[in-house]
Structure 1
Amino acid sequence: MPVDWAGYGYAALVASGGVIGYVKAGSVPSLAAGLLFGGLAGVGAYQISEDPKNVWVSLATSGTLAAVMGKRFYSSRKFMPPGLICVASLLMAAKIGYGMLEKPQES
């Protein structure tokens, strides 16, 4: 079974964004949300690595972040960090959706 490296990278991006938000602005909600959603994305990546059909945690996490950060980007017009996380979340959701549409490979 292939490891979901993109999922783990996405999880690291989200978690590190929360840490950076805390360090730069002292934002405890940013730290909490970054670690929570980064952790959920990591769990989702692990689940996909174990069973490629088990996409629901990862899909829910990336979809939620795409919506929330997309709204924040639309309101503020600042790319960093909401635009970046929105784009990364949309790409992650598209990757998961594409994986769901692929036909299973026969051994």
Structure 2
Amino acid sequence: MNLPTLVTLIYGVLLLVGGIIGYISAKSKPSLISGVVSSLLLLISGALQWQQMAVGLVLAQFLTFSLAIVFGIRLWKTRKFMPAGLMLIVSVATLAILLIKTS
């Protein structure tokens, strides 16, 4: 298993855990739904990468870029580092690793 695949899978699990924690702590159904959906899509893209399918990497890059934008907007609106700021940093780091693979 290569680094981009591993990072995609870890990021997917982290989003799932974050969505569950958001639901438990704030009773936020949108947090749970978005965490589960984005997590499932990233886990699928990780599985596709593991099978050496290029679409898996492209899907992971698109999802990670989209999530970075979402977390950036949330950070801008709330001005609170947790959880949006932390997830923005994780998203950008994940995206950097995924983009290095294509260069």
Q: Are residues 1:30 and 2:25 paired?
A: no
Question: Residue 13 of structure 1 aligns with which residue?
Answer: 14
Ranges of 4+ aligned residues in structure 1 off by more than 3 Å: none
**1:9-34 CA deviation, whole Å, 9 max, x = no partner?**
10011111000000001011100000
In structure 1, distance between residues paired with 2:27 and 2:17: 14
Cα distance, 1:77 vs. partner?
A: 1.7
Question: Residue 69 of structure 1 aligns with which residue?
Answer: 71
In structure 2, distance between residues paired with 1:82 and 1:52: 31
Cα distance, 1:93 vs. partner?
A: 1.0
In structure 2, distance between residues paired with 1:92 and 1:52: 19
Cα distance, 1:2 vs. partner?
A: 3.5
Letter in 1 for 2:77: S
Runs (5+) with no aligned partner, structure 2: none
> Are the equivalent residues in 2 in contact too, given 1:45–1:58 (CA < 8 A)?
yes
Question: Residue 50 of structure 1 aligns with which residue?
Answer: 51
Query: Once superposed, what is the RMSD of the aligned Cα atoms?
Result: 1.5
TM-score between the two structures when normalised by the length of structure 1: 0.86
In structure 1, distance between residues paired with 2:53 and 2:85: 28
Larger helix percent: 2
How many positions carry a matched residue from both structures?
Answer: 101
Runs (5+) with no aligned partner, structure 1: 102-107
**1:44-88 CA deviation, whole Å, 9 max, x = no partner?**
111122216331110111011000111111221211111111111
Question: Residue 86 of structure 1 aligns with which residue?
Answer: 88
Please say which of residues 34-43 and 2-11 is displaced more in the overlay: 2-11
TM-score between the two structures when normalised by the length of structure 2: 0.89
Question: Residue 42 of structure 2 aligns with which residue?
Answer: 41
